[in-house]
Amino acid sequence: MTTPRRLASAHDREILRLAVPAFGALVAEPLFLLSDSAIVGHLGTAQLGGLGVAGQALNTLVYLCVFLAYGTTAGVARQVGAGDLPGAIRQGIDGMWLAVAIGAVLVVAGWPLVPWIVDAFGASPGVAPYAETYLRVSLFGIPSMLVVLAGTGVLRGLQDTRTPLLVSIGGFSLNLLLNAVFVMGLGWGIAGSAWGTVLAQTGSAVVYVAVVLRAARRHGLLVRPDWDGLRTSATAGFGLLVRTAALRVVLIVGTSIAARMGDPEIAAYQVGFQVWTLLAFALDAIAIAGQAITGRYLGASDITATRAVTRRMVWWGVGCGVVFGLAILVIRPWLPALFTSDGDVRDLLLASLLLVAALQPVAGVVFVLDGILIGAGDGAYLAVTTLVATAVFLPAALVVHRTDAGLAGLWAAIGLWMLTRMITLSLRARGDRWMVTGATR
């Protein structure tokens, strides 16, 4: 007889088997920009601010398409749970073709809009040229970034988070090496940093394509585009697209307000936000496990296991959030010196890190429940509630802007946004309507 304690231990092992490698892979993603920040920051405050503006713009373009990873993970995992492995791989192939198509459109459409995009983010005259340079070069890496998202989703859905970890480690190492050579060795400035990241992302995309092609050949699957599959992949991700767009509105507004405060403020916000992103992706490791496990259990029509593993993952999210918050407080006195020698930027960053640390337990709950509902295919609810949370944030951000509340006020508004998301996601998770079973939702 399986006791509750043994069942919880089994779920813990399953969560850790997927979450630990996912942790490493997710941490590697923000490390691309963090390593860029560490190198570019020594070029000057304006260059670091330019990287902050361009990085937010680039992330907006790419992560509006995060459904390529999340939607693919959930769909592939359901097929795995239902016992249809060839169908799971075919769905992943369709997602990768969709990534190539979207990436090509974004490059063509984004190139002439670069000056307008940088201006929309509120870059000052001193920061704007560097932001434009970084963004123009980085556009060429968008198709590869989207293929990486889709390929990662395929492997996560197949319950494999180790391969994405190895690819991420290789990509980060290559990015760091190329940035050091191009920026410091060859003196290419901020453009060298962008080219290093583009080449590293392209190498990662090639690896994912090779892995999926090998799996397709093993199961005798065709790899040419399937138009019905492309349409299914595109329409299934609509709710996640709306959700992500609402998230990006918050991040864009936050960057714009910080940029209008002054160059030291946007530089400090850039570094503080990258620390936030690093920890958010680390917490998202449990959410990735939630996507894969929830999709598989619902595909196998196992409601009891779905409910039990949901409770365990929430506890893991809270515990990790507390640990990460304490870790920030420990390293806070020394962290600013890694990124800048500007005294004003250091002081602003020290204050910001206190709020970033305080929000980590809330973030732990939010990211875990978000991942679980994504794995369940509950995109419509996520879209609506994320819009609600954004509607709460925007008036608070406007007050910050008009009252000169500074970076502390901006981070407080972000905290209000996170609390709203935690409440709406918790209410959904307590009910049963999100637990739809079967190979497809």
The stretch 300-308 carries a mean pLDDT of 86
At 304, the pLDDT band (50, 70, 90 cuts) reads confident
At 415, the pLDDT band (50, 70, 90 cuts) reads very high
The stretch 392-401 carries a mean pLDDT of 92
Residue keyed to tokens 């190895």: 166
Structure tokens of 29? 């993603």
pLDDT in tens, 107-137: 888 888 888 888 877 777 777 888 888 888 8
Helix, strand, or coil (residue 140): helix
- Whether 418 and 317 have beta carbons less than 8 Å apart is answered as no
pLDDT in tens, 357-388: 999 999 999 999 999 999 888 888 999 999 99
The stretch 40-52 carries a mean pLDDT of 78
* 114-142 burial: b if 16+ Cβ within 10 Å, else e: beebbeebbbbeebbbbbbbbbbbbbbbb
Q: Which of 267, 420, 244 is nearest to 348 (CA)?
A: 267
pLDDT of residue 381: 94
Which residues, other chains included, contact 73 with Cβ-Cβ below 8 Å and sequence gap of 6+? Answer: 153, 156, 157, 288, 291, 292, 295, 374, 375
The stretch 22-41 carries a mean pLDDT of 72
Helix, strand, or coil (residue 186): coil
The stretch 268-285 carries a mean pLDDT of 82
Structure tokens of 78? 């359901």
CB atoms within 10 A of CB 96: 26
pLDDT of residue 384: 94
pLDDT of residue 441: 62
Q: Which of 175, 131, 162 is nearest to 29 (CA)?
A: 175
pLDDT of residue 1: 46
Mean of the per-residue pLDDT values for the chain?
Answer: 84
pLDDT of residue 207: 93
Domain ranges of the chain: 11-225, 252-430
CB atoms within 10 A of CB 341: 12
Range from 161-165, 344-348, 426-430 that averages highest in pLDDT: 426-430
**Cα-based distances in Å from 372 to 23, 88, 292, 441:** 16, 19, 9, 14
Q: Is the dihedral of CA 291, 381, 97, 197 positive or negative?
A: negative
pLDDT of residue 324: 92
Is the model more confident about 391 or about 274?
A: 391
Its pTM stands at: 0.80
Q: Which of 439, 407, 422, 406 is nearest to 363 (CA)?
A: 422
Biggest distance spanned by C-alpha atoms of the chain: 69
